[in-house]
A = this chain, B = another copy of it.
């Protein structure tokens, strides 16, 4: 088993100086091509791998990009985050940057973790997910002039920092207009309580589309419960479905909620899409697999994550001065969970 060797050792083996070896490996032009070749060969032979610490020390960069996992639990790494992390990792590794994942330990807030990350210099830039309306992490980073990319915008000003986002507003407008065209007039939305940006965005899309329909018959019913409180969500869904004038279509803020609607509806004896149309957002794997398949929107999380990696690296390298941004329109995936509004008498709800 060969020990890791250093520049000094490679230099000694070739009777060159450390500086020459360093520059040769760096591909500098002021080193003769032949020398570069010899150095490269010897380095390989000795199993030379640059020491990060040495490099970091002089460059002032850590070669890491940080991601702070949100604190919710116990399984807050949902399929979105999982996909995001892998996409990010792939995008970074392609540029020779590594990804560090920071988690909060008991008693630490997400902001504390972020501060530690930034101040210790363990990361050269960070990626933020799940931007809240008026997010304190964003404020901190901007004030600190620390490179970051946010997955999601802040409600008001989108100009002062770099972000990339999905057009949830547009997506939910699309959803409503499709449903409207299919005859639905009363549409439900199962949403969350947290003041997240994407929630705001999507709800706004739904509301604006409803208003623009110019049809007094159009009606929206919105219920909200804390993000991970399944019991509360279920209760609200049941309440919505067992109301005398229940919606003929229900949209889930995210697939998870839409799938919950489907299951509750089925448990109550409603057939989908005959008695109820359901639309989600995210296109999680389970959405394709549900019966019927869940109609939803795909935001290509994996690709967006790769893209944010590239964006962040450009920011860190200082290649770009101004903030970057990118808004992508999610793809509408039509499966079997939505259809024409039921014409006639509604089936009796099975009491549970």
Query: Which residues of A come within 8 Å of B, CB atoms?
Result: 1, 4, 47, 49-54, 56-57, 62-64, 69, 73-79, 81-83, 85-86, 89-90, 93-94, 98-106, 113, 119-122, 143-145, 230, 260, 263, 267, 284-285, 288-291, 302
A75 near B64: Cβ-Cβ < 8 Å: no
A–B pairs, 5, beta carbons within 8 Å: A52-B121, A53-B57, A69-B86, A94-B105, A100-B101
**Judging by beta carbons under 8 Å apart, are A53 and B50 in contact?**
no
Nearest 10 A/B pairs, CB to CB: A77-B82, A89-B103, A53-B56, A53-B57, A49-B119, A100-B100, A93-B105, A99-B101, A101-B101, A94-B105
* Contact (A62, B69) CB under 8 Å given A86-B76, A101-B99: no
In the complex, what distance in Å separates the CA atom of A49 from the CA atom of B123?
14
Chain B CB within 10 A, most for which of A79, A82, A102: A82
Task: Please give the distance in Å from A293's CB to the nearest CB on chain B.
Answer: 12
Contacts of A106 in B (CB 8 A): 90
Q: Is the CB of B145 within 8 A of A1?
A: yes
**Residue pair B81, A82 in contact (C-beta under 8 Å):** yes
Q: How far is the CA of A153 from the CA of B137 in the complex (A)?
A: 41
Contact B144 A1 (CB under 8 A): yes
Complex contacts, A120 vs chain B, CB 8 Å: 49-50, 52
Whether A101 contacts B89 in the complex (CB less than 8 A), given A49-B121, A52-B121, A81-B82, comes out as yes
Residues B98 and A102 in contact, CB atoms below 8 Å apart: yes
Q: Which of B51, B73, B94, B288 contacts A121 (CB 8 A)?
A: B51
Q: A78 to chain B: which residues have CB within 8 Å?
A: 82
Nearest-CB residue, chain B, relative to A88: B103
Q: Are B103 and A122 in contact (CB under 8 A)?
A: no
A62-B53 in contact (CB<8A): yes
Contacts of A69 in B (CB 8 A): 85-86, 89
Cα distance, A74 to B84, chains bound together (Å):
11
- State whether A119 touches B1 (Cβ < 8 A): no
Specify which chain B residues have a CB less than 8 angstroms from the CB of A57 in the assembled complex: 51, 53-54, 57
Interface contact B73-A86, CB-CB below 8 Å: yes
Can you name the residue of chain B whose Cβ is closest to the Cβ of A143?
A: B1
Partner of A100, one of B64, B145, B267: B64
Partner of A74, one of B4, B291, B302: B302
Q: Which chain B positions have C-beta within 8 A of A105?
A: 90, 93-94
Contact between B74 and A83 (Cβ–Cβ < 8 Å)?
A: yes
Please tell me if the beta carbons of A62 and B52 are within 8 angstroms of each other in the complex. Answer: yes
Contacts of A50 in B (CB 8 A): 120
Residues in B whose Cβ lies below 8 Å from that of A99: 100-103
The listed residue (B4, B101, B121) touching A85 by CB distance below 8 A is B101
Chain B nearest Cβ from A84, distance in angstroms: 9
A44 to chain B, nearest CB (A): 12
Distance of A105 Cα from B50 Cα, bound (Å): 20
Q: How far is the CA of A121 from the CA of B291 in the complex (A)?
A: 48
Q: Please, which residues of chain B bring their CB within 8 A of the CB of A83?
A: 74-75, 77
In the complex, A79→B76 CA distance in Å?
Answer: 9
A4 to B60, alpha carbons, bound, how many Å? 12
A12 to B61, CA, bound (A): 25
- Give complex CA distance A85, B86 in Å: 13
Shortest beta-carbon distance from A216 to chain B in Å: 38
